[in-house]
Structure 1
Amino acid sequence: MHSQDRIRWRLASQLGRPHGRVCGNNSAASPQRSLRAGSIAAGPLAAGLPADASNPITVVCISDTHQTQPQFPDGDPLLHAGDLTNQGSFEELQAQLDWLASLPHRHKVVIAGNHDKLLDADYLARFPERICEPEGQSVGDLEWHDLVYLNNSFETLGFANGRRLSIFGSLWTPQFDTFAFQYPRIRDVWTGAVPEGAHVLLTHGPPKGYLDLDGKGCPNLTREVARTQPRVVVFGHIHAGPGREEVGYRGVERAYQRVMAGDGGLEVVLGMVFWLLGAWAEELVSSVLGHGEERRGARTTMVNAAVVGGLRNEERRPVIVLEI
């Protein structure tokens, strides 16, 4: 890491606020110190995407590689939703960063996961004995190459077809055992955290109710996704829930999100039944009139991009590729 990059990282740490930049080249990206829960200041992002909608952006989604180095299809950008490593040591992290940097994808955006312990300054302060760093080397000595590291921050990527893609990355997950980048389940770190206008939300943990193995995700994240309605949400963490799911924000889907976020009781559940009947009738009429796509409203593609599975991470999952 160059000295100028280290200075920029320290400044971002001292300022204690998200940092983002427009990226259309291969300038080096440096990590930022972990922001404490509640310190995220969200705001609207510049518009993007429509310059040449006929030429889609191919997004390669991965997560939870856990020291493996699988083969990936072509695309741009490549998004990694955290847990690059098993133990979060310097050697493991540097090996994964070197591998990602060697891939041909032009834009590579990375967040940390709960296993990537060396990147969490608060974790290091509380449990220094759990991380073994080589003598004379620290997190500031990691070489990030051309990777973009997001820590409660955003990045706007530029593409050859004139389109721009705004990505907000946050690495927090609900408390489980003793890992990095975690928050107590009773604490809401998500409300108002995601900037309006973010096209892609990159998180380590899932929103509750979506590809999260029977509700192991965060309800406050579900509420925040419903508020901001990004085009894509990419996450991992729950290895047993890989796949993709398209969701909307009308009728029964909105009622389901309220239930998952803990905002509704029996009346909302009963409302889901009536909405379901109404949605069925609306779909029938729309299909007859040919206006189905126009009436669907905003949609979000949820992606659990975990590439390992099994009790010992012995299983390998196919990489998920999307077109926006």
Structure 2
Amino acid sequence: MPLLGNLDPFEPAPLLYLILTCPVKLLLQNAYRILTFVRTSPTPLDHPIRIVCISDTHSLTTDVPPGDILIHAGDLTNDGSIPSIQEQINWLASLPHKHKIAISGNHDTYFDPRTRPSLPEADREGRLEWNGIHYLQHSSITLNISTPSTTSSEPSSLAKTREICVYGAPQIPACGSFTTNAFQYPRGLDAWSETIPSNTDVLVTHTPPKHHLDLPLPSGMGCEHLYDEVKRVKPLLHVFGHVHWGAGQTVCWWDECEDAYARGMQRPLGWTKGLLDWKLWREGIRVVVYGIRGLLWDKVWGGQRRNTRLVNAAQMHGNTGKLGKRVEVVDI
């Protein structure tokens, strides 16, 4: 696993370290987070669909609340063998959700032909029984879901069928050995452009998009090319995991504030640590100005821009080997 100095990039950096190494970006990040947090959450459509999101269970199980769709965003296992994968599949299949979707992560070695030979021969032979779970690997599925109305003007007995297109892909920027970590590509390589269907409602990946729920500072462990692709498609929901400490959810509003944040976070720091980078300061000012404008548009006039709800559904509590994160539930 690559290290940044003596820091593990998959662990939160100490605040003092961030103040000393990237103070302007730290201000930018916190201004963006505050202005995003205080905006009104997106209103689900009538006949909402409840999606339950989990990831990074690493061969363990947890209590999962009910919902219409259950999504597992990869790292089902620790060792990536067929027996371990099948145990996780059996657990998921036992849950009451009508629709279940899973993708693989870098620990799910068997699914990638390039890493499969690293498994003992006995652990890479056999056949997986998916028991009704939809496994997506650079593929889509369209689900037809019948849901009751939530409005007072319609009888609660009336139901509506909604179509939801879900696309899943497992690839991640390199974080370890290419012989054992599945679906890796060299960090910085574009493995995403024009790969996600434009009609995708729910996107499931293992890696986060860059600078969103991926421990954004000091460097961010997500993928910048995935971010660009999410921005192009603008799905209702993007579910991912991989960076355990990034677990949680937020809303990405596709507006000028978001554009300024992305440009600012991508600025190289150089020897001045951003203190003398007038372009970085400019983007910080734009985040505040456009963020306040978006907040006024939201709170005063009741308008909402196009948005994507981002969910890091990692269940593993850091690198403790124990599941302890909240299961994220989203209505769309």
Q: Secondary structure at the match of 1:227?
A: helix
Mapped pair 1:92 → 2:81 = no
List structure 1 segments (4+ residues) > 6 angstroms apart after TM superposition: none
TM-score, with length taken from structure 2: 0.74
Consecutive unaligned residues of structure 1, counting only runs of 5 or more, are 1-51
Question: Equivalent pairs: percent with the same residue?
Answer: 39
Distance 1:166 1:143 in 2: 24
SS in 1 for 2:110: helix
Distance in 2 (alpha carbons) for counterparts of 1:282 and 1:321: 26
Tell me what 1:191 maps to. Answer: 193
**Residue in structure 1 matched with residue 320 of structure 2 by the alignment:** 312
What SS class does the counterpart of residue 161 from structure 2 fall into?
coil
1:318 Cα offset (Å): 1.4
Evaluate the alpha carbon distance shift between residue 282 and residue 98 of structure 1 in structure 2; reply closer, same or farther with a 3 A threshold: closer
Structure 2's unaligned 5+ residue stretches are 1-43, 147-159, 269-276
Alignment of 1:156-235 (within 5 A): 156-160=142-146, 161-178=160-177, 179-214=181-216, 215-235=220-240
Q: What is the TM-score of this pair, normalised by structure 1?
A: 0.75
Q: Where does residue 245 of structure 1 map in the other structure?
A: 250
Name the CA shift for 1:308/1:286 in 2 (closer, same or farther; >3 Å). closer
Which residue does 2:40 correspond to in 1?
Answer: none
Indicate the residue corresponding to 2:114 in structure 1.
Answer: 122
Residue aligning to 1:73: 65
Q: CA deviation at 1:240?
A: 0.9
SS at match of 1:309: coil
1: CA distance between counterparts of 2:161 and 2:265? 38
Distance (Å, rounded) in 1 between the aligned partners of 2:130 and 2:244: 26
Describe the SS at the equivalent of 2:114. Answer: helix
> Does residue 1:138 correspond to 2:125, yes or no?
yes
- Is 1:155 paired with 2:163? no
| 1:254 maps to which of 254, 259, 266 | 259
Q: Structure 1 residues 287 and 86, CA, compared in 2 at 3 Å: closer, same or farther?
A: closer
Code of the aligned partner of 1:84: L
**In structure 2, C-alpha distance between the alignment counterparts of 1:275 and 1:148, rounded to whole Å:** 40
Task: Indicate the structure whose relative CO is greater, using CA pairs within 8 Å and at least 6 residues apart.
Answer: 2
The question of whether the paired residues in 2 share the 8 Å contact of 1:120 and 1:181 is answered with: yes
- In 1: Cα distance, 2:108 partner to 2:289 partner: 46
User: Cα offset for 1:314?
Assistant: 2.0
What RMSD, in angstroms, separates the aligned Cα atoms of the two structures? 2.3
CA contact (8 A) 2:62 2:323 kept: no
Paired residues, number: 263
Q: For the residues of structure 1 that align with 2:241 and 2:288, how far apart are their CA atoms?
A: 29
Rounded Cα–Cα distance in structure 2 between residues aligned with 1:200 and 1:219: 19
> Does the CA contact (< 8 Å) of 2:74 and 2:206 recur in 1?
yes
Query: Quick check: 2:168–2:205 contact (8 Å CA) kept in 1?
Result: yes
Distance 1:233 1:281, change over 3 A: closer
| Contact kept in structure 2, 1:223 and 1:257, CA below 8 Å | no
Residue 257 of structure 1, CA deviation: 2.5
| Residue aligned with 1:59, SS | strand
1:18 corresponds in structure 2 to none
